[in-house]
Amino acid sequence: MAVSGFEGFEKRLELQFTSNNHSVNPIGLRQLDFQSLEQILHKVQCTVVSALGNHHFDSYVLSESSLFVYPTKIIIKTCGTTQLLKSVQPFIIHAENLNLRLIAIRYTRGSFIFPLAQPHPHTSFHEEVVYLKNNIPQYLCYKKASVIPSKLTSHSWHVFSAGIAEFSDDVPYTVEVCMTDLDQTLARKFFRHPNDGKNADSAGKEMTQISGINRINPNAKICDFAFDPCGYSMNGIDGDRYSTIHVTPEDGFSYASFECVGSIYNDDVAEMVKKAVKVFGAGTVSVATTSASHVTCMRIKGAIEKLGMKSRSCSMDEFPAAGTVVFQTFKKRDDN
């Protein structure tokens, strides 16, 4: 917890592995037992509060955001003052014990609201990059670190990627949405009522319903959790695709995030982003789309503008191991 308030902006880490002997185990990383995951999360300074899985992957709602475990991929994002990058080495070691080798890594985050509250190794992006380079294999030769600025706001997007090969455009793309200055009336839906008689799961389900989060992707199976006295997290599972939402509703540093994945074979992501943004009525919205075509970014832009928001900035950068990252920012039209 920061002195001024809770840090909503998440740090996100994605690790991609492959089999060492070319015989891919269909379960792969999902063989990691719960105790091993808990030990890794203890280093990060968070815990599992709820879980859900299907044939494709396992999903965990954390005390500070989310963890997704696929047979050859791990995605973990945490907020607050967690030390996310301390999970890199443990995940690599556990994967090696399962005969899996790291072939790509991507770390992303926005600009912290309370940067001075962040502990090592997150006191600066430079420190994070140095830490990453010191804790990943040297054979990941396609490395790049960059801060993608927003031209008209103070918010920037930080990206580090590394891999054994250049990016292939046939992989799913990731959309990360960060929302600040939430509409106070909408944000109040994520506060618990004192002595409401509900547990975290039932209160979370109620928040999912009354906020309209359940309508963002009606096909998704949702695992939700309400924190006390306020705050909310959910993971959605739709086949091999995930989505996730995290809410810090306190006035003065309110924040919500939405993340999902898509592919060139479906075009429903822009509509999902529009629905997610509408849930929170944020004053400022930033969207980072990784490894996506410009068509996808334009669809997202058009969808958000239909909500009465104005595009204020669009910047992009190329990463050898991750592809194109497009960073867009939007503000309410009535804001100066």
Phi, psi dihedral angles at 115 (to 5 degrees): -65, -30
DSSP conformation letters of 54-112 = -SS-EEEEETTEEEEE-SSEEEEEE-TT--GGGGHHHHHHHHHHTTEEEEEEEEEE---
Q: Which two tokens stand for residue 67?
A: 């963890």
Beta bridge partner(s), residue 287: 177, 328
Contact yes or no for 271/86 (Cβ under 8 A): no
Beta bridge partner(s), residue 176: 259, 288
10, 14, 250, 259: the catalytic one is 10
Q: Which two tokens stand for residue 219?
A: 């096909």
46, 79, 178, 260: the catalytic one is 79
Identify whether 155 is a catalytic site residue. no
65, 156, 257, 286: the catalytic one is 65
211, 233, 243, 254: the catalytic one is 233
- Sheet containing 232-238: which strands, arranged edge to edge? 221-226, 232-238, 241-248, 255-262, 173-180, 284-290, 323-332, 309-319
Contact yes or no for 59/50 (Cβ under 8 A): no
59, 150, 246, 297: the catalytic one is 246
7, 14, 128, 259: the catalytic one is 7
Identify whether 65 is a catalytic site residue. yes
Identify whether 246 is a catalytic site residue. yes
Whether a cis peptide bond, with omega within 30° of 0, leads into 229 is yes
Identify whether 7 is a catalytic site residue. yes
Rounded Cα gap, residues 79 and 278, in angstroms: 22
Which residues, other chains included, contact 268 with Cβ-Cβ below 8 Å and sequence gap of 6+? 217, 262
Phi, psi dihedral angles at 71 (to 5 degrees): -55, -35
Q: Which residues are catalytic?
A: 7, 10, 65, 79, 233, 246
